[in-house]
Amino acid sequence: MSSLWSAVPPCSIAKFISEEPSLSLLQNHCTNMNDLQKIHAHIIKTGLSHHPVAASRLLTFSASSSGDINYAYLLFTTIPFPNLYCWNTIIRGFSQSSTPHFAISLFVHMLYSLVPPHRLTYPSVFKAYAQLGAAHYGAQLHARVLKLGLLKDQFISNTIIHMYANSGLLTQARKVFDALLVLDVVACNSMIMGLAKCGQVDKSRSLFDNMPTKTPITWNSMISGYVRNKRIVEALNLFTQMQKQRIEPSEFTMVSLLSACAQLGALQHGEWVHDYIKRSHFELNVIVLTAIIDMYCKCGSIEKAVEVFEASPTTRGLSCWNSLIIGLAMNGYENEAIEYFSKLESSILKPDRVSFIGVLTACKHLGAIEKARDYFALMINEYEIEPSIKHYTCMVEVLGQSGLLEEAEVLIKGMSIKADFIIWGSLLSSCRKHGNVEIAKRAAQRVCELNPRDASGYLLMSNVQAASSQFEEAMEHRILMKERLAEKEPGCSSIELYGEVHEFLAGGRAHPKAREIYSLLNDSGFALLD
């Protein structure tokens, strides 16, 4: 530690805190940033703001999950000679924030300061690299730790494994994992999550089954792994085992299960999870409420989504509003989506970029050009939201389906951000609908340049030309597609029947009852091959 701490003996620190009212309040009664700012103002007035004890107490709370990391950084910059504790606190705070790259920047500054990093400093920096998915840069820090002989520290090793596993570098993660002298449950959890994230969910389950000790995080990680890989039945079965062993599920468990049901449109499973939440008197916070609304919307049960939303007026946050607005827009309730967007504007919350994607989607499905233009202008001018590629794509689709292809093309070319193949593909699709060959050629060229191995651009352009009797040109595009080995991803759909989810690929034969299904379709008059 720095000389600032050594100048204050431990007994003096305790006496100082007990005798100074503002610090006693900070330690025992400060629960939010409003409290902290009042105490901070008092500390400044009494001239204690540069005292190491006062500075560290203020920094500790403001850098915590209950505080404000930006306020913490401002406090940190006012400390003339921050000690090791202050450096570790601010780096740890940023590593757990939405801006983890600042933790890495501060660590670099620390290397050039008078205070060298301590073994407790490194885990926070590795966590920051993990959150960023930047293990290739974190490998340099791994090398530094190795040279310093700190790799035997279990805490450091665990965060290195987490960094590699979270970034998909399983070989490197496994090397560190296999070198552990003691098999640690935290390291096992990181490997389970990393394997599942990379699609190796069976290896993840094997590691899970062989663990001598499991924590609730272990169970949640395995359930999340199944969800990520769309193996909903196994996720629910594991949840049942979790209940039998009387492991208390967390908010994370519930959200994972609801997300799985939403992805697969498994309404019956989703209703069961919702009923479990109600029976267990689970805390219905914003995250869980949003997951429930999202599940019902994606499963097509809009009435239930609205019912859940309306029944929770004090809990719903902006994410709940956004899920409902988008859900209504995607399920044919466009006018209701616009109505709820208006209610959101009248509430204490403000629409964000996701809210505008929802209302623009509703306008697209309605073909409401003027409304879409008004909302797009409102987003930019009143709410000062910079349009993203998704907002522009919505506008191009609104204009394109109404035949305003020139205006749509001008909008794309005037964008402040780089156009991707999706937005050009939207324009190309509209050109096919309206038979505009000239704009279609320019759009197809951009689609093929931006994503040359995707077949959609070639196929759409070929169809436009064939519809305009330009058969030779259409054939040329088909030949070009084969020469460039472009592939079209097969269509995929799923249906839930008697609690079981069935998935189908276009032209696929993998389903165990494929022969019976094709036979039934043939008997129904569909000309299908055996």
* Confidence class for position 496, pLDDT limits 50, 70, 90: low
Residue 508 belongs to domain spanning: 493-523
Q: How far is CA 99 from CA 27, 86, 102, 144, 382, in A?
A: 27, 18, 6, 24, 27
Q: Is residue 407 part of a domain?
A: yes
Q: Which residues contact 376 (CB under 8 A, 6 or more apart)?
A: 356, 360, 387, 391, 395
Which range has highest mean pLDDT (48-52, 80-84, 430-434, 492-496)? 80-84
Q: Is residue 77 part of a domain?
A: no
For the residues of 311-346, what is the DSSP string, one character each? T-TTT--HHHHHHHHHHHHHTT-HHHHHHHHHHHHH
Are 393 and 485 in the same domain? yes
Query: Would you say residue 207 has pLDDT above 60?
Result: yes
Query: Would you say residue 171 has pLDDT above 70?
Result: yes
Q: Is residue 450 part of a domain?
A: yes
Are 476 and 425 in the same domain? yes
Q: How far is CA 121 from CA 64, 90, 106, 141, 208, in A?
A: 16, 10, 11, 12, 30
Are 480 and 399 in the same domain? yes
Question: For 21-55, how does the pLDDT look when each residue is reduced to its tens digit (9 = 90+)?
Answer: 555 555 555 666 776 777 777 676 666 656 666 67
Question: For 360-382, how does the pLDDT look when each residue is reduced to its tens digit (9 = 90+)?
Answer: 999 999 999 999 999 999 999 99
Q: Is residue 24 part of a domain?
A: no
* Confidence class for position 339, pLDDT limits 50, 70, 90: very high
Which token pair is 379?
A: 């987003």
Query: Would you say residue 15 has pLDDT above 80?
Result: no
Q: Is residue 447 part of a domain?
A: yes
Euclidean distance between CA atoms 417 and 345, whole angstroms: 27
Are 400 and 483 in the same domain? yes
Can you say how many angstroms the Cα of residue 412 is from the centroid of all Cα atoms in its chain? 27
CATH number at residue 397: 1.25.40.10
Are 398 and 478 in the same domain? yes
Q: Is residue 422 part of a domain?
A: yes
Are 427 and 477 in the same domain? yes
Question: For 428-462, how does the pLDDT look when each residue is reduced to its tens digit (9 = 90+)?
Answer: 888 877 877 778 778 777 777 776 666 555 555 55
Of 187-196, 396-405, 499-508, where does mean pLDDT reach its minimum? 499-508
Of 151-160, 308-317, 400-409, 520-529, where does mean pLDDT reach its minimum? 520-529
Q: For residue 348, count CB atoms less than 10 angstroms from its CB and return exposed for 0-12, middle for 13-18, buried for 19 or more.
A: exposed
C-alpha torsion angle, residues 508, 466, 435, 487 (rounded to 10): 30
Q: How far is CA 30 from CA 40, 44, 58, 92, in A?
A: 11, 17, 10, 20
Q: Is residue 148 part of a domain?
A: no
- The pLDDT of 311-327, averaged and rounded, is 91
Number of domains comprising the chain: 2
* Confidence class for position 264, pLDDT limits 50, 70, 90: confident
Are 430 and 406 in the same domain? yes
- The pLDDT of 345-368, averaged and rounded, is 94
For the residues of 496-512, what is the DSSP string, one character each? EETTEEEEEETT---ST
Q: What is the pLDDT of residue 265?
A: 85
Are 430 and 515 in the same domain? no
Are 483 and 510 in the same domain? no
Of 67-71, 321-325, 510-514, where does mean pLDDT reach its minimum? 510-514
Q: What is the pLDDT of residue 41?
A: 74
Which is more confident, 473 or 308? Answer: 308
Q: What is the pLDDT of residue 4?
A: 36
- The pLDDT of 140-151, averaged and rounded, is 93
Which token pair is 2?
A: 């720095």
Q: Is residue 48 part of a domain?
A: no
Q: What is the pLDDT of residue 130?
A: 92
Euclidean distance between CA atoms 40 and 62, whole angstroms: 11
Are 431 and 509 in the same domain? no
- The pLDDT of 85-99, averaged and rounded, is 92
